[in-house]
Structure 1
């Protein structure tokens, strides 16, 4: 449709954001891709760059109860019996503001059989010399309290080499073990010395990751950073604040077709299946709001 995409630019950075799921469709530094992109039309593969709300990741069986009332969301991952990545991906989004280096997109999540609250959701994308900053904000405009969680869903690209040759720095002490068939939470595990211990940078190799990590090391401003580096020296960094206590990391493995094209790094306000566990779930009262920010920046051989 006309006006689906918004093109942004600032210095060496350029981006394309889209009304389709409020997603980041492209991000480049010079001629280098920093994320795995997708075509201007058709379905968005692998939920690349979308905004996942009002829950991230999987909701087992698509059913839950809140404030004593049952709700049922559409199971859009039938092979695992899950409602995946929330409701905002199914809503119509609009471009609310547009400038050369900044755009604001928004959608409304209605109250109904899938969800108790009515949310106005906006995502602001802005480019600067420091990279791309995203800010997602939810306001409960309904009359009932609502459970809430959110994450962005970019797949980072470190450089031209295969993902197996990239090195990863992930400053997390613990991860959430999941079932092998449905990828639903089992319990917390420490990374220490195991396959998922990337607290010091090391090569990814053939490890397969699709897990939520927590107990994350942060700087004095509450910021955490994941870095992915290519052997050539190029790389990409994703930085997020204390409002995101979790981060999902996925090596993009697929049973059919091209896989391991990029590394999904998804700051999350809550872990998978939080509508059942209640872990770190935000409870938005009528009129209340929640905001969270993240930044993606290029790393160059000189700076990185």
Structure 2
């Protein structure tokens, strides 16, 4: 198989009851995750839109950047939007680029993407970086690891995360704990940090319902649990401590999915007065940011 074929092919990993598919050419996206034949992520619809896949990487930042610009070490940098659905830059660069296959096994995969801020690419992100994504199936579930290395001569701000779209199935239940949440303004940008209101509090497992969330929770502690009693499946997502923010997106239930995104920083952290205080990291030349997330899957008694 030549390199072009390796990039374009949808790659399937298998281990026991687990099936995980990835399409490197489609932003390196996970296109399917199933357990005992039950889809847990929204299956890719076959289109050329990565937003219709199951999960993609957020790098070198998550969510939106206000006014399409940010400041770093006294310089102001403008960013263009890479998504026709959004007027502001969103989700970084990597989800809009083809990835390369570095390693491939029956139950593991290593992908890479290299960004060089040359020509028009500098409008997408003004610093050079290398990104690596490791995916490993285990007897318990999936281990994901991201590493972003600054290969520029200058320091650069950086953030990382994942954007999974989970299927609702039937009476889906969600639980996670966070210290606070950002309320949004009319542009869907964080405007005010508040304690988590009762209607958005999932510290105790409860039905997902329709809370109309598209908000960033701050200070996530412990795992994120998702249960599908009608399917008899439970998912436990364990992001590492650096992924202490959680973006939760709950569109109308009839759309059939919701998103719970472990990320390192607040929405629009790049556009805030002190990005580092809101989770952005500053990487010196040659420095790397690494994060990991474990997803454990198990059978539970099926609801009647």
Both structures adopt the same fold (TM-score exceeding 0.5)? yes
| Pairing 1:1-304 to 2, within 5 Å after superposition | 2-3=5-6, 4=8, 5-19=10-24, 20-46=26-52, 48-76=54-82, 81-111=87-117, 112-157=122-167, 160-161=169-170, 165-179=171-185, 181-192=186-197, 194-217=198-221, 224-232=222-230, 233-253=232-252, 259=255, 261-277=256-272, 278=275, 279-302=278-301
Alpha-carbon shift at residue 149 of structure 1 (Å): 0.7
Q: Is the 8 A contact 2:172 2:229 kept in 1?
A: yes
TM-score, reference length from structure 2: 0.88
Looking at structure 2, the residues matched to 135 and 90 of structure 1 have their Cα atoms a distance apart, in angstroms, of 19
Inter-partner Cα distance in structure 2 for 1:119 and 1:37? 30
Unaligned runs of 5+ in 1: 218-223
Deviation at 1:113, TM superposition (A): 4.0
Cα RMSD over matched residues?
2.2
Distance 1:92 1:58, change over 3 A: same
Q: Which runs of 5+ in 2 are unaligned?
A: none
Question: In 1, Cα distance between the equivalents of 2:52 and 2:72?
Answer: 29
1:220 counterpart residue number: none
Query: Would you tell me which structure has more helix in proportion to its own residues?
Result: 2
CA contact (8 A) 2:42 2:53 kept: no
* Aligned partners of 1:138 and 1:291 also within 8 Å: yes
Secondary structure at the residue paired with 1:39?
A: coil
Are the aligned partners of 2:57 and 2:162 in contact in 1 as well (CA < 8 Å)? Answer: yes
Contact 2:210–2:252 (CA under 8 A) maintained in structure 1:
no
Alpha carbons 1:81, 1:182 under 8 Å: kept = no
TM-score (normalised: structure 1): 0.88
